[in-house]
Amino acid sequence: MSKKVLVLGGSFGGLTAALEVKRRLGAKVEVTVISKDDNFVFLPSLPWLVTGQRQAAALTIPISAILTARHIHFVHGTAMAIDPTAQRVTTASSGHDYDYLVIATGPHLACEEIPGLGPDQGHTHCIFTLGHARKSREAWQKLLASPGPLVLGSTQKASCFGPYYELAFELDHQLRKRRMRHKVPITYLTSEPYLGHMGIDGLGTSRRFMEDEFARRDIKAVVNQGVQAVEPDKIQLTDQNSLPFQLALLAPPFKGVDGVAALGNDRGFITVDEYYRHRQHANIYAVGVAVAMAPRQPTPVPTGVPKTGYMTVQMAQSAAFNIAADINNSEPLATEDISILCLLDMGGTGTLMHADPLLPPRQKSVLRKGRWVPWAKAGLERYLLWKMRHGLSRLP
Ligand SMILES: Cc1cc2nc3c(=O)[nH]c(=O)nc-3n(C[C@H](O)[C@H](O)[C@H](O)COP(=O)(O)OP(=O)(O)OC[C@H]3O[C@@H](n4cnc5c(N)ncnc54)[C@H](O)[C@@H]3O)c2cc1C
């Protein structure tokens, strides 16, 4: 009888895991994906949606179209609870039994932890979902029409820094193109202890690199700082100072999502072993942002380790390999270290960043600036969207 593999989440982690399990096991498994969103959204290009270089339709693929062609079931719904003993996940309208479960539900954006934060009930914007990026685009257009101070960066406990560096450089570039940079003071506000830390203790010369780039572009940095509250026109910092803004784009604190948090640590992230298996429940796997990952050294203002798309795909492939090994009674494969590869658009130029492994000490750290980077990023976007559209799960 075929085994039931249930996957929660329809993004890089969930779709890669589902496609790869099916590719490896074919008719031996019945794979179902449950996802709160019914579209796959190519999140790395959302900064380009804010600047108007991309439209939403170009970054979006219906999940059912990806999965149906590969004989994988799709349920558009939100996992509300997991019962690891009964091996069952419940959504608002149905229950789903599993033999193996993969959790790839990404982050809960915990705006509620900071009064006044967030695009839904607060005064700040962010770019973690298509909806949020669209609102950010509208707010950016308003700023262009009526210029004033721009603040961007990350709050305490955020674990995603790259996109906000990217936005700082891109928006600076857009303002200069319009000859209005002098009307918009830019401040990069962050919980990182220094510029270029990025939640991974820096990467090669990233500290000096970012400090020089910020100085060259006249972007003010406020580092090692938490946010206490946000008022309609100013951010109250934990050191009692405040920052005025007309537009603020801030990454909120991250937590695990509600439906899976009960299986996780105190922030709701899932602690896994070297096979990406839950430490207490061997038939539950977790990949991507849902995974608990401790920084090498805690930072004075708490920051989280980022889990990038590239890392997420590596984790999902490992989890799929190990599910297949378990079903085939073969040896699982431990993942000791994971690496990152990022292309950061800086408006007219960019930087390639590669860290292997993710956290120091490292075998390899590469940071290379060049005008070719935005082109390479656009090429990678096209390739990865093509791959997802065709249900291909392997990394090159
Ligand atoms: C603006 C931006 C730019 C980025 N740029 C880069 C980059 O250049 N390079 C890079 O490598 N990475 C980049 N990343 C990071 C990358 O996008 C993430 O690492 C990746 O999306 C993580 O994938 P995931 O599957 O773990 O989670 P997510 O992408 O967050 O997806 C979570 C999925 O789970 C679903 N879900 C949530 N809750 C539930 C529930 N209860 N039940 C069912 N489904 C649920 C959601 O609908 C979604 O489908 C960027 C991220 C952002 C936001």
DSSP 65-81: HHHHTTT-EEEES---E
- Whether residue 234 is predicted with pLDDT greater than 70 in this model: the reply is yes
Question: In angstroms, how far is the first alpha carbon of the chain from the final one?
Answer: 33
What pLDDT band is residue 232 in, cutting at 50, 70 and 90? very high
Query: Cβ(306) to ligand 1 under 6 A?
Result: no
Amino acid type, 371: R
Indicate the pTM of the whole model: 0.97
Give the distance between the most distant pair of CA atoms in the chain. 68
Angle between helices 162-177 and 206-217 (to 10 degrees): 20
pLDDT of residue 259: 95
User: Quick one: average pLDDT of 162-170?
Assistant: 97
Q: Whole-angstrom Cα distance, residue 207 to residue 205?
A: 6
Q: Whole-angstrom Cα distance, residue 82 to residue 213?
A: 46
pLDDT of residue 153: 98
Bridge-based pairing of strands 81-83 and 219-222 is unpaired
Of the listed 66, 79, 150, 160, which one is catalytic? 160
Domain boundaries, the chain: 3-108+255-337+384-389, 111-254
Over residues 171-211, the pLDDT tens digits come to 999 999 999 999 999 999 999 999 999 999 999 999 999 99
Of the listed 109, 133, 342, 373, which one is catalytic? 342
Bridge-based pairing of strands 29-35 and 3-8 is parallel
Over residues 71-125, the pLDDT tens digits come to 999 999 999 999 999 999 999 999 999 999 999 999 999 999 999 999 999 999 9
User: Quick one: average pLDDT of 303-324?
Assistant: 96
Nearest residue (CA) to ligand 1, atom 50 = 44
Over residues 259-310, the pLDDT tens digits come to 999 999 999 999 999 999 999 999 999 999 999 998 888 999 999 999 999 9
Q: How far is the CA of 43 from the centre of ligand 1 (A)?
A: 7
**111-254 matches 3-108+255-337+384-389 in CATH topology:** yes
- Is 160 labeled as catalytic in the residue annotation? yes
Q: How far is the CA of 30 from the centre of ligand 1 (A)?
A: 24
The three-class DSSP label of residue 7 is strand
- Whether residue 396 is predicted with pLDDT greater than 70 in this model: the reply is no
Q: How many CA atoms lie within 13 A of 35 on its CB side?
A: 24
Query: Cβ(226) to ligand 1 under 6 A?
Result: no
Q: How far is the CA of 103 from the centre of ligand 1 (A)?
A: 12
- Whether residue 394 is predicted with pLDDT greater than 90 in this model: the reply is no
pLDDT of residue 295: 87
Which CATH number is correct for 3-108+255-337+384-389, 3.10.20.30, 3.50.50.100, 1.10.10.10, 3.40.50.280?
Answer: 3.50.50.100
pLDDT of residue 300: 97
pLDDT of residue 337: 85
Ligand 1 atom index nearest CA of 79: 42
Q: Whole-angstrom Cα distance, residue 120 to residue 59?
A: 22
- Is 342 labeled as catalytic in the residue annotation? yes
CATH 3.30.565.10 fits 111-254, yes or no: no
Instruction: Report DSSP letters for 208-266, one per residue.
Output: HHHHHHHHHHTEEEE-S--EEEE-SSEEEETTS-EEE-SEEEEEPPEEE-HHHHTTS-T
